[in-house]
Chain A
Amino acid sequence: MRRSLSWVSVAALALGLAFLYAPILLVIGYSFNAGKLVTVWSGFSLRWYAEAFANEQLMASIGVSLRVAVLSATLATVVGTTAALVLFRHARFVGRGALVGLIYAPLVLPEVITGLALLLLFVELGWERGILTVALSHAVLASAWVAVLVQSRLVAFDRSLEEAAIDLGATPARALWQVTLPIIAPTLVAGWLLAFTLSIDDLVIASFASGPGSTTLPMRIYGQARLGVTPEINAVSTLMIAVVALGVVAFGLLAKREALRGVQAGGSK
């Protein structure tokens, strides 16, 4: 089989990647622009970063976003892992199909519907909207992603380890805590990071679920972006890209380590 790429393929890849990266690189590049015009380069400066850090509203929204993300990622990891364990272990029970459909629904539902539905729930229940409701809403979305991730890890999990623990006298609960969860822990960390990233990124669901005083960073950026492009948003966006890129790199390293371990385990069988 010929394994060298034709020039058409190389061109397709080069153009495609340029299309994917150019807009992001422009935002990053112009965040270091000295001038106020966002499309004319007038020298390197960190001025807009200084202005962004001096903007109290912006800084407050970063604080809100971080708190929401930590809370929602933790909740989503617990719920998503539970869902994956239940669905993977119990092949049959009444209402399984409906349960599966609903748990994974946020993966495919338009965000406006998820956001509206959760907001109306909070109103019906009379819950005060704020950081907690935003975190809860993000957890509903992210737990579906965590469940996907954990379920794919469980497929490769060697159940005889758990059975051995039970044969040695461990209760099922103890086997879960001391055998299964420690083994799949890297996947849980990866799931937590994924949920954190989803939360930091979300605008639509947060707009519905938030109340006064719980404006997240994307909501703040959106409010300013509707009025036009400013170098200050470019600076904040660049910081956000950097934070998420760090998260993705951490996630990638974990996933790679897991994959290597999977290969080793597979090889020793």
Chain B
Amino acid sequence: MTGRSVAWPSMVVLLGLWVALFLAGPLLIVLKISLAETRLARPPYTPLLIDDGGGWSLSANLANYVALVGDGLYARAFGQSLWLAGISTALALGVALPMAYAMARAPASWRGALLAAVLLPFWTSFLIRVYAWIAILKDEGLLNAALVGLGLIRAPLALLNTDIAVVIGIVYAYLPFMILPLYVAFARIPASLIEAAADLGATPTRSFWSVTLPLTAPGIAAGSLLVFIPAVGEAIVPDLLGGAETLMIGKSLWTEFFQNRDWPLASAIAVLLLILLVGPTAWLEGREARRRETGA
């Protein structure tokens, strides 16, 4: 790795500058503004350092954080985000497990095509994929029309603008994130292990539960986090599919910023959300980095 390196130090310096200016800097500014107060001016927040003639004085306060913790609405929004993201993750796992298993067990010549088929919808605009569900879920929508037509229900179900719609939207939008790591995990299990289990008298069901599934645990963990982390901060799905009473923290941040123009409060929400997600994120990044560097 060392010796005559083609990447010279100036590249490291340039990269460092980019990271400092566009990644580290912005996150520090969010932290700074979360300690400011909102005001009607440009920019709409108070400065942290105030020049009061005789010198600089620091004007930081935790009022935004106190407001967030004290106001039951935001506490509920945090709680509901975790809850809805958790349910969506569990459902996505339930849908993805049999699909990924079937893909990994499919004849080798099919697997590439199946993988492409699963990934193609993922490349379709996220917004359009969420938007598509409005026409399906609304009262006079296609799902209700189909259910009524089949005689399963008599009156249309209220689906759009409920938490159910939000969960469906999240599961749908993030499903490929779950399928991919599961597929990789299943595909890596040597066939000889399954054969050994069978030779030792395990039924296919038994060998699935006591051999295959434990070996895919890291894939399950990775897929779950890849769905859970963005789902917790999701803003678009609850806005388009959720109702007025659907509280999610990403949507709260969005509303505080764009509608109430309370930038300091939006920043404080972002900081709390970051703190909440830093553990799972670090785990995922560490795993990714190890995987990349070993080239596995």
Question: Which residues of A are in contact with B by a Cβ distance under 8 Å?
Answer: 1, 3-5, 8-10, 12-13, 16-17, 19-21, 23-24, 26-27, 30, 38-39, 79, 82-83, 85-86, 88-91, 93, 95, 98-113, 116-118, 120-121, 123-124, 136, 140, 148, 151-152, 155-156, 162-163, 166, 172-173, 175-176, 180, 197, 200-201, 203-204, 207-208, 218, 221-222, 225-226, 228-229, 233, 237, 240-241, 244-245, 247-248, 252
Contacts and interface: CB of A to CB of B under 8 A. Distances in A.
Interface centre among B8, B22, B234 (most CB of A within 10 A): B22
Nearest to B169: A23
A27 B124 CA distance: 12
A16 B98 contact: yes
Contacts of A5: 102, 105-106
Interface string B81-107: 000000000000001101101110111
A247 B125 CA distance: 12
- The 6 tightest CB contacts between A and B, nearest first, are A110-B233, A117-B26, A9-B102, A12-B98, A23-B132, A155-B295
Contacts, number: 250
Which of B95, B121, B289 gathers most chain A CB within 10 Å? Answer: B121
Nearest to A236: B128
Nearest to A95: B16
B267 A91 contact: no
A236 B240 CA distance: 18
Chain B: number of interface residues, binned into ranges: 35 or more
Q: Could you say which of B6, B7, B24, B114 has the most chain A C-beta atoms within 10 Å of its C-beta?
A: B6
A38 B1 CA distance: 59
Contact of A218 (B23, B127, B274, B292): B127
B22 A118 contact: yes
Given A13-B102, A221-B131, A237-B131, A24 B124 contact: yes
Contacts of A39: 135, 138, 140-142, 145
Given A108-B281, A166-B4, A222 B22 contact: no
Given A113-B30, A136-B22, A3 B107 contact: yes
A24 B132 contact: yes
